[in-house]
């Protein structure tokens, strides 16, 4: 059974945060649908608020502390990223962008990405298409067509006047699963074992 590794980036600042709540829902739906599709799944959830000091130090020293270095390596090794940020001044948070800036841009080339955002009013939902999507397009990622924005009305309600949050989450997760089906760009092919000539010859002889 093939494994798909997903890193979930939550840039929420509060505890608990609506960004983390949305990130968890997106991750759970993606995992469920991937398992139905026959994949094993490994999910790593990263709270960027816990790395804020290390990220800042990386900018001034050029050195990633061990904890930050482990997270960066995890992102690079992932097949997909679920990225969720709160909205500040009509864009993603500074913490979110700072983390993206410490990554090697080439390390995201071809990765599947699912975008999510949270804010205090639906007027902020365009951040998905006017800020986050251009950022990840520049980084040459493969972005799920549906991004998910969650506002205050989405928490604790079954109907927000349009489509329920759970429906939007499942639709976006399904699109990410489609991106994760089949061979993945950048995934290394398995190394073929080279057998000694004597073993190869014995195998040919046994087959006669």
**pLDDT tens digit sequence for 45-72:** 999 999 999 999 999 999 999 999 999 9
> Does the structure show a pLDDT above 50 at 192?
no
Residue 83 pairs in a beta bridge with 9, 115
8-state DSSP, 197: H
Beta strands in the chain (DSSP E): 3-10, 40-47, 80-88, 91-92, 112-118, 142-143, 148-150
> Does the structure show a pLDDT above 90 at 182?
no
Rounded-to-integer distance, Cα 145 and Cα 128, Å? 11
pLDDT at 15: 84
Task: Give φ, ψ of 113 to 5 degrees.
Answer: -135, 135
Task: Give φ, ψ of 163 to 5 degrees.
Answer: -95, 140
Reading the block at residue 171, the tokens are: 């639709």
- 14-28, 74-88, 175-189: the lowest-pLDDT one: 175-189
Sequence-ordered list of residues with C-beta below 8 angstroms from that of 202, at least 6 positions apart, any chain: none
User: What does DSSP say about strands 80-88 and 3-10: parallel, antiparallel, or unpaired?
Assistant: parallel
Averaged confidence pLDDT in the chain = 89
Distances (CA, A) of 157 to 48, 162, 166, 176: 28, 12, 10, 25
- pLDDT band for position 189 (50/70/90)? very low
pTM, whole model, 2 decimals? 0.86
| Domains defined along the chain, listed by start | 3-206 (3.40.50.360)
Task: Give φ, ψ of 144 to 5 degrees.
Answer: -60, 140
Rounded-to-integer distance, Cα 31 and Cα 187, Å? 19
> Does the structure show a pLDDT above 80 at 156?
no
Sequence-ordered list of residues with C-beta below 8 angstroms from that of 162, at least 6 positions apart, any chain: none
Contact 157, 31 (CB under 8 A): no
């Amino acid at each position: 059974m093939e494994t798909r590794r997903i890193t979930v980036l939550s840039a929420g600042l509060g505890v608990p945060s609506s960004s983390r709540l949305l990130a968890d829902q997106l991750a759970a739906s993606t995992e469920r649908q991937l398992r139905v599709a026959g994949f094993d799944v490994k999910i790593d959830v990263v709270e960027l608020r816990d790395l804020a000091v290390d990220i800042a130090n990386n900018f001034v020293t050029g050195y990633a502390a061990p904890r930050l270095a482990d997270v960066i390596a995890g992102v690079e090794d992932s097949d997909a990223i679920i990225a969720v940020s709160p909205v500040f001044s009509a864009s993603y948070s500074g913490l979110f962008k700072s983390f993206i800036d410490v990554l090697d841009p080439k390390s995201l080339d071809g990765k599947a990405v699912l975008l999510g955002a949270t804010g205090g009013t639906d007027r902020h939902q365009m951040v998905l298409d006017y800020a986050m999507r251009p950022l990840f397009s520049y980084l040459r990622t493969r972005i799920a067509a549906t991004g998910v924005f969650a506002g205050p009305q989405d928490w604790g309600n079954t109907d927000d006047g349009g489509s329920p949050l759970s429906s939007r989450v499942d639709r976006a997760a399904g699109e990410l699963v489609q991106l994760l089906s089949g061979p993945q760009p950048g995934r290394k092919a398995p190394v073929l074992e080279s057998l000694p000539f004597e073993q190869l010859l014995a195998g040919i002889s046994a087959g006669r």
